[in-house]
Structure 1
């Protein structure tokens, strides 16, 4: 007579499917858990509002009376641009945030955990892009609106103030927020390409402020005008101001070219993340 031996059941761990919503939730937690990112986001808010208000006070000080200010307004003075000056400085800060979001993980080795969780890797950078875009849009959106309202309150004492309903004001406000979001996403792409926070930040700073100056000496016969118009940090200029300059692309066309720049940089960063070892 033979006894039957019960075979122990094999343990099979439960399979957990990684969803994009889960990746976004994870990236959201990481975004607000890194002290340098939180501090930099706060600095971006303060810079956009503070510099805009200070520039508005400085602009008001140039005019001794209301009559002189109104004469300048009749000649096309852009008081909205004065109150939104801080957004230009904000581009450097949010670009640094975009670089740090991914380059910081390469420096700490955290990126290995991220790609193990999502082996296809594209979901990781897509989730980072969503979280980065939403946070930058909300924080800088509030900052831009506040800078505009406070700045126009200052300028209104000289009759230079503008309201939200004035022509071109809404476009300028939305354009500045979209510019800040786009620059942050471009920083994310550069950070994925270079995998180094310092190198990525220096590259973005050079692209925004240094390269446009280097392009100025290019003669018109060599296509200098077109090169300057199509350069990354020159494409969105008319989309962020009430007064339009003929030296740059129109607001709609320029912002379209800017989106192409952002898409290319993000695409190159995603390709590097997917194809290179981490």
Structure 2
């Protein structure tokens, strides 16, 4: 019975994503930004081969577009997770799926998997665009799999962070501000404070973990891919736990 209800709730969440105009706006905007930047990067490398990374491939050239994929998919996740609270549609949603734990599972799974798959597909498209315009730098499959492996964690955990913040605040604006602060503002701000502890605190923020996995650089010299992954996963789990607690424990109208 639970599996049936979960499947039904997942189908409803999938329909809800694509039944609102904002999802199509996000898809077009993110797609244009990421693929467009891939094309521009490919043109730049074709005209100036020295601008390509040493021993790098098209994956390396287009890797920076993952930051746009991250912020775009986080914003998309926030808007999607808060939309029915903003419109009052959460009431019929809970009438349709009164078992809130199953609703939480369906919402997290469907939104996170959808936006992560789209984000990865767009980064791949940007890499292919770079390679098509500058074929000499290559597009090795092994490099691509390694790069996409880290991006799954970056974009997936970012999506879950956005969903959790959205469910916890029930406010699109508040969740977006918190997400931007955790992913961009606070890591840079704290990391540049004139205190010995500042780089350590900055390295524990999700934005530092994402930047390290994308660019290989962080506030601490001893950061590792594993520590960055653990940081992202910890923040994603904490955000979903906070959002889930509010969904399960508080009235939908408050």
Q: Secondary structure at the match of 1:218?
A: coil
In 2, Cα distance between the equivalents of 1:163 and 1:172? 12
In 2, Cα distance between the equivalents of 1:228 and 1:60? 37
Q: Which of 19, 37, 40 matches 2:5?
A: 19
Is structure 2 residue 24 aligned with structure 1 residue 38?
yes
Q: Normalising by the residue count of structure 2, what TM-score does the alignment of the two structures yield?
A: 0.86
Cα deviation, residue 33, structure 1: 0.6
Q: Secondary structure at the match of 2:54?
A: helix
Which residue of the partner structure matches residue 172 of structure 2?
A: 197
In 2, Cα distance between the equivalents of 1:93 and 1:245? 22
Residues 91-130 of structure 1 aligned to structure 2 (within 5 Å): 91-130=70-109
Is structure 2 residue 215 aligned with structure 1 residue 234?
no
Q: Which of 138, 148, 159 matches 1:173?
A: 148
Residues 210-221 of structure 1 aligned to structure 2 (within 5 Å): 210-219=185-194, 221=196
Which residue of the partner structure matches residue 54 of structure 2?
A: 73
Is structure 2 residue 54 aligned with structure 1 residue 82?
no
In 1, Cα distance between the equivalents of 2:45 and 2:188? 25
Q: Work out whether residues 144 and 177 of structure 1, in 8 Å CA contact, stay in contact via their aligned partners in 2.
A: no
Q: Work out whether residues 161 and 240 of structure 2, in 8 Å CA contact, stay in contact via their aligned partners in 1.
A: yes
Which residue of the partner structure matches residue 247 of structure 2?
A: 273
Q: Which of 100, 105, 122 matches 1:143?
A: 122
In 1, Cα distance between the equivalents of 2:173 and 2:84? 13
Cα deviation, residue 127, structure 1: 0.6
Cα pair distance change 1:32/1:152, threshold 3 Å: same
Cα deviation, residue 164, structure 1: 2.3
Which residue of the partner structure matches residue 140 of structure 2?
A: 164
Which residue of the partner structure matches residue 7 of structure 1?
A: none
Larger Rg: 1
**Larger % of helix: which?**
2
The number of residue pairs the alignment matches comes to: 250
Q: What CA deviation, in whole Å up to 9, does each residue of 1:7-52 have, x standing for no partner? A: xxxxxxxxxx961111111111111111112221232222222223
Mean CA deviation greater in 33-42 or 77-86: 77-86
Cα pair distance change 1:169/1:25, threshold 3 Å: closer
Which residue of the partner structure matches residue 3 of structure 1?
A: none
In 2, Cα distance between the equivalents of 1:173 and 1:151? 16
Q: Secondary structure at the match of 1:235?
A: helix
In 2, Cα distance between the equivalents of 1:107 and 1:69? 46
In 2, Cα distance between the equivalents of 1:35 and 1:140? 18
Mean CA deviation greater in 196-205 or 52-61: 52-61
Q: Normalising by the residue count of structure 1, what TM-score does the alignment of the two structures yield?
A: 0.79
In 2, Cα distance between the equivalents of 1:102 and 1:207? 18
Q: Work out whether residues 55 and 85 of structure 1, in 8 Å CA contact, stay in contact via their aligned partners in 2.
A: no
Q: What CA deviation, in whole Å up to 9, does each residue of 1:52-80 have, x standing for no partner? A: 3323434555x3xx5x568x626xx6763
Cα deviation, residue 232, structure 1: 0.8
